[in-house]
Structure 1
Amino acid sequence: MVTLLTTPADRELVVTRTFDAPVGRVWEAWTRPGQVREWYGVSELVTFVTEVDLRVGGAWRWGQRGPGGQEIVFSGRYEEVVAPERLVYTERFEQMPDAEPVRVILTFDPTPLGGTALTSTSFWPTTESRDQALAAGMEAGVREQYDRLAGFLGRSGGPP
């Protein structure tokens, strides 16, 4: 499957991918810390934190550590939780604490063949901040992460 990144508006970034797993299974992979730990991030880093308080106002925090000890950690708060269809949350790169957070709308839509179309629409504080993230390698990282999620879903199988 192809992970598609588009920039339909000045501050917007849309990532779409179809997974060969039912909506409930993809939702669980995205919202249960033990499952997130299995696929999150890029393979050359170690996921060391996956915290999820899945409720409106609840916080989340996911992070990886490199071989030299450098940390890449993202965190935010849930603004809307509609299981297993939609998550709305803020996202902040902790290594840039003064940066304004990104707002993300994540939808989990069933496909006709029993899979899930996952769409992540992020709204960035500025066009420049979005473009800087893309220029820094975000696209390759997102593609690898979604490939890892697909692999995890294939290995873990089964409903819901």
Structure 2
Amino acid sequence: MAENGYTYTLTRTLDAPVAKVWEAWTNPEQYAQWANAVPGSVEMHVRPGGTWKATMVTPGGEFPLGGTYLEVADKRRLVLGMNVPGRPEPVAMSADFTDLGERSEITVSQTSDTKEERDMAEQGSTMLLDGLSKFVANS
């Protein structure tokens, strides 16, 4: 085991300016479209301490998620705390946005307690980034 858990980091270059990518990630209606969330289930209060929630559609059924924004730096960084049943502290996932002019880069990272949790989280984040990439390139 790593000293502080098991971490994954995913980086994507997107064919859209950072303002468009930020809007897609922080606007509930847009997020629902690309993140495969149940329409109307997404709520976002994008500010430090603000809450968020979404019901995700997965092959195994619907999966409710929620938590708080731990850090918000406009068009640069989001750190989301995700509430996990049975855990006293939220699991933090960071998303860093880099302005590349007409393109942008997003880096998502999360640390988990076990390799299995990390692998599941990485798979979920890969699906999110796939959806985001397609959405911003086609909208």
Q: When the two structures are superposed, what TM-score results if normalisation uses the length of structure 1?
A: 0.72
Superposed displacement of residue 89, structure 1 = 2.1
Alignment partner for residue 117 of structure 2, among 128, 133, 145?
133
Residues 6-155 of structure 1 correspond to what in structure 2 (within 5 A)?
A: 10-41=5-36, 47-48=38-39, 49-65=41-57, 70-93=61-84, 97-99=85-87, 100-111=89-100, 114-124=102-112, 126=113, 128=114, 131-135=115-119, 137-155=120-138
Q: Give the gaps of 5 or more residues in structure 1.
A: 1-6
**Matches of 1:139 and 1:122 in 2, distance apart?**
8
**Matches of 2:14 and 2:76 in 1, distance apart?**
14
Q: Deviations over 1:114-158 (max 9, x none)?
A: 31110112133x2x1xx22345x54444333322211111221xx
Could you say which structure has the greater relative contact order, defined with CA pairs below 8 angstroms and 6 or more residues apart?
2
Amino acid at match of 1:132: E
**Matches of 1:143 and 1:52 in 2, distance apart?**
21
**Matches of 2:7 and 2:58 in 1, distance apart?**
29
Q: Give the gaps of 5 or more residues in structure 2.
A: none
Give the match for residue 3 of structure 1.
none
**Matches of 1:150 and 1:107 in 2, distance apart?**
15
Q: Deviations over 1:28-75 (max 9, x none)?
A: 00000000011004xxxx62421101111110112124588x421221
Q: Deviations over 1:63-90 (max 9, x none)?
A: 124588x421221111221111111221
**Matches of 1:138 and 1:80 in 2, distance apart?**
20
Percent identical across equivalent pairs? 32
| CA gap 1:67/1:146 in 2 versus in 1, 3 angstroms | closer
**Matches of 1:81 and 1:24 in 2, distance apart?**
14
CA RMSD of aligned residues (A): 2.5
